[in-house]
Structure 1
């Protein structure tokens, strides 16, 4: 049966991704996708998208707000923009999106069917069914507003949906995976993201099979009017005893912008920093032939490498991945555009070479991940606060940028602060 991978709470955020960042997210998201497919195949990439912790880390390494609901929209948008021109090459098709784009999903799937020979009508029915299950069969207080459907040429697919609860200002993300899916109405989700807020109506639970039958019997025997009369006569009954469920990973994204030490497993950060310092200047500059690749760029590459090669247990602190390229809202620090661009250059160079049969550069990225994991057992390093403070001090040198504009030089920042204080 399908896997349930865990849960997470995502505070609702408004606003838009600025064009300068959205353009880079498209490039980085695309090249990471290509690297995963080259190493592990399309099925593994679909599994990654169905993993809520990995999905959050994916968005964080791209410079999105590390904790917000906007990661879902921006990641799916970046993949749609980046993978659509490569759909024939990769055999992947990204459909749907937010709002009106979500409602266009069935038509897009029909078009995919016409191009690939897949049964587009069946895919469209699947899309509608999934949306119906998460909006009607799972009544948890969240109204769907986003529906992304990624399908491969062989018919395998993953769906990522998101709903919002205006009262609590939270979003809930739902992940579906076609692999091992036996039924749309019996425990079909790969994962549902959201805080436990009490009892919900979940008619997709296996324990609801008797309810499915009972509802059909009531409708046949009593009709709609009879059901209304019977419901009015009911008196509240004591709730049934809770059934024990296995513990699942539960990710809580706080409604605050700053990253705190408890959000990051520090030894993993230290391992990436140590690997960057040890491997960056010596191995990467000559091997990858990309100018300006030093320890800071290799630190970002180490986190991208982990995203490509890491086991699921490596993504239980997704905030850490925002330490690769910062965040558009200046948290944990402004996006280091120059570092971001070099990361993209290195990855594109490695993927292009691997596509032509030369795996040496892409293997170097994999070895960097292995080295970071080895070094994290013994490496020391700065505290989280000290690391973030250092990134902010050097932000101008790295081409730091956020929704508030370009980062000024340190002296100018100090002068502004003093004038504001005076």
Structure 2
């Protein structure tokens, strides 16, 4: 995975209306020209590149070192393609905040128009959000999710998370054209102000053994897991202040009933979130010695 370090402070507010309108006009011409000259796949490649995307924001006239570049540029492209999506074969769904939660509905509507398998893209949209919010625990909470796809079913995803207490943001780029495994080194790149010293990265290649152990634990009945906890020395004990035992029990009961076949299906199980994954990762390390990245 490529990692980029750049200024990306978290800024509030929104772009002035006059600026956004100009950005939309310029973005429309750039996208139309790119698709005509280089094709749809190349457009996705460029949007999937953190460096190219950042440069595009500068060309469109937005603040070069602001978290707002991500949200404003993707919003400008989405607006620029309004009425041109079917002609160009490029579609945009999602956005910032509440709009991001409408992504599945937008994808279904636009996939029907494009003749693309909506269920497949909706699944990938949810999986990608789960990876960057749960499998990677870096302290940044996702608040922006944009899914760009073509009539051929290829796609790129641009997500952004924030750390409001420190006024920082972090952007995550994905692209289907270079994706081998969505839960092993899946990113095209991550754009961030700093490298965090303590991160749980369960999609790092080094975490694959830990993934396998977590899935094994997820298939066990919760009662057995409780007994495993009780066998641990006192200094390994997990207290109720650290986790909600009733909530964890219910989630583990769900994974036991579902019997996930791999880490991807475990991660997409309803109810599995950051705390569940942290708890199982810790147990896997204590019992089996499989340390995550």
Superposed pair shares fold, TM > 0.5: yes
Check 1:232–1:35 CA distance in 2 against 1; reply closer, same or farther (3 A cut).
farther
In 2 relative to 1, CA 232–82 (structure 1 residues): closer, same or farther, beyond 3 Å? Answer: farther
The answer to whether the 8 A contact 1:17-1:74 is kept is yes
Q: 1:228/1:14 Cα in 2 relative to 1: closer, same or farther (>3 Å)?
A: farther
What's 1:192 paired with? 190
Q: Please report how far the alpha carbon of residue 233 of structure 1 lies from its aligned counterpart in structure 2 after TM superposition.
A: 4.5
Mapped partners of 1:198, 1:157: distance in 2: 31
- In angstroms, what is the RMSD of aligned CA positions? 2.5
Q: For structure 2, list consecutive stretches of 5 or more residues without a partner in the other structure.
A: 238-281
Equivalent residues in 2 for 1:331-346, closer than 5 Å: none
Query: Where does residue 225 of structure 1 map in the other structure?
Result: 226
User: What secondary structure does 1:48 align onto?
Assistant: helix
Separation in 1, partners of 2:13, 2:219: 49
Match of residue 15 from structure 1: 13
- How many residue pairs end up in the alignment? 240
TM-score scaled by length of structure 1: 0.53
Partner in structure 1 of residue 141 of structure 2 = 143
- CA displacement at 1:19 relative to structure 2: 1.1
Rounded to whole Å, the distance in 1 between the matches of 2:43 and 2:23 is: 17
Residues 68-122 of structure 1: per-residue CA shift (max 9 Å, x gap): 0000010010001011210011100011000111000011111122112111011
Give, in whole Å, the separation in 2 of the partners of 1:62 and 1:228: 55
Query: In 2, Cα distance between the equivalents of 1:7 and 1:66?
Result: 14
- Is 1:182 matched with 2:183? no
SS at match of 1:182: coil
**What corresponds to 2:276 in structure 1?**
none
Assess, with a 3 A threshold, how the Cα gap between structure 1 residues 77 and 231 changes in structure 2: closer, same or farther: farther
| Deviation for aligned residue 1:42 | 1.1
Answer with 1 or 2: which has the greater Rg: 1
8 A Cα contact 1:4 1:192, kept in partner: yes
Gaps of 5+ in 1: 244-422
Q: Which residue of 2 aligns with 1:213?
A: 212
The aligned counterpart of 2:249 is: none
- Output the CA distance in 2 between the equivalents of 1:47 and 1:22: 24
Q: Secondary structure at the match of 1:148?
A: strand
Superposition map of 1:243-322 within 5 A: none
The answer to whether the 8 Å contact 1:181/1:188 transfers is: yes
Aligned match of 2:47: 49
1:5–1:140 Cα change, 3 Å: closer
